[in-house]
Chain A
Amino acid sequence: MDALSPLAVHAAMATGFLLILLGFYGVLTQRNILRMVVAFTLSTTGVNLVIIAIGYTLRRTAPILDEAVPLAEASARIIDPLPQALVLTAIVIGLGITALMLAYVYKIYQVRRTLDIGKLSELKW
């Protein structure tokens, strides 16, 4: 079987870390609130990618039992299913959070007619 090399796992993890950093950079430097939400979504994807890359074990397969992976060999053939369950949860919650942020973006635009974070200065000191 065509196996994945450690280089590929490291590359996937590095991509995840880079996405987190790019997302944070976007959140810190953008002026437009909608763009900040976009950047936030990027770093969420990055975190998920890092967790899945950590959970990967070389030369093993997905945690689903079938003819290729009988129960007797399961613990020697499958990867850790726990990070997958956690990331699945994180993705679904991520959409909930994004929807909430977008609803507030709409509300802010409705009241203030601007999406520039620099013009929303009531709570600034």
Chain B
Amino acid sequence: MILTGMTLLLCLVMIGAALVAILGKGLAVAILATGLVSLVASLLFLILAAPDVAMTEAAIGSGLTTFLFFFVLGRVRGGEHD
């Protein structure tokens, strides 16, 4: 029962973060929100009995991807408001 409630809560957090990522104003906020979606997704993978996938998503999806985005965002200063 607790696990089900937690799953529903995590789903709500994911949808909220995804809405921020698509509709939010700042690009940095959008990138961070995508990282949050990936992080919460890795928790969901753990709940859905997929520890291998959860590790991959946490290390790659929310870690490295976010930093790749920030590397490029830092290089294209001035382009983010186009």
Touch A–B, Cβ below 8 Å? yes
Given A34-B73, A38-B69, A45-B61, CB of A8 within 8 Å of CB of B52: no
A102 to B47, Cβ gap below 8 A? Answer: no
Given A22-B18, A56-B49, A62-B51, CB of A95 within 8 Å of CB of B37: no
* Residue numbers in B under 8 Å from A79 (CB-CB): 49-50
**Closest Cβ of chain A: how far from B43's Cβ, in Å?**
11
B48 to A53, Cβ gap below 8 A? Answer: yes
A106 to B75, Cβ gap below 8 A? Answer: yes
**Closest Cβ of chain A: how far from B72's Cβ, in Å?**
5
Residues of B in contact (CB 8 Å), total 45
Q: Which of A54-106 contact B (CB under 8 A)?
A: 55-56, 60-62, 64, 79, 84, 87-88, 91-92, 94-95, 98-99, 102, 105-106
B61 to A94, Cβ gap below 8 A? Answer: yes
Question: Considering the chains assembled together, what is the distance between the CA atoms of A93 and B37 in angstroms?
Answer: 18
| 0 or 1 for each of B45-63: is its CB under 8 Å from A? (1 = yes) | 1011111110011001100
Given A61-B49, A84-B52, A91-B56, CB of A35 within 8 Å of CB of B27: yes
A19 to B57, Cβ gap below 8 A? Answer: no
Which residue from B2, B14, B72 sits with its C-beta under 8 Å from A105?
B72
Residues on A facing B (Cβ under 8 Å): 2-5, 7-9, 11-12, 14-15, 18-19, 22-23, 25-26, 30-32, 34-35, 37-39, 41-42, 45, 48-49, 52-53, 55-56, 60-62, 64, 79, 84, 87-88, 91-92, 94-95, 98-99, 102, 105-106, 109, 113-116, 119
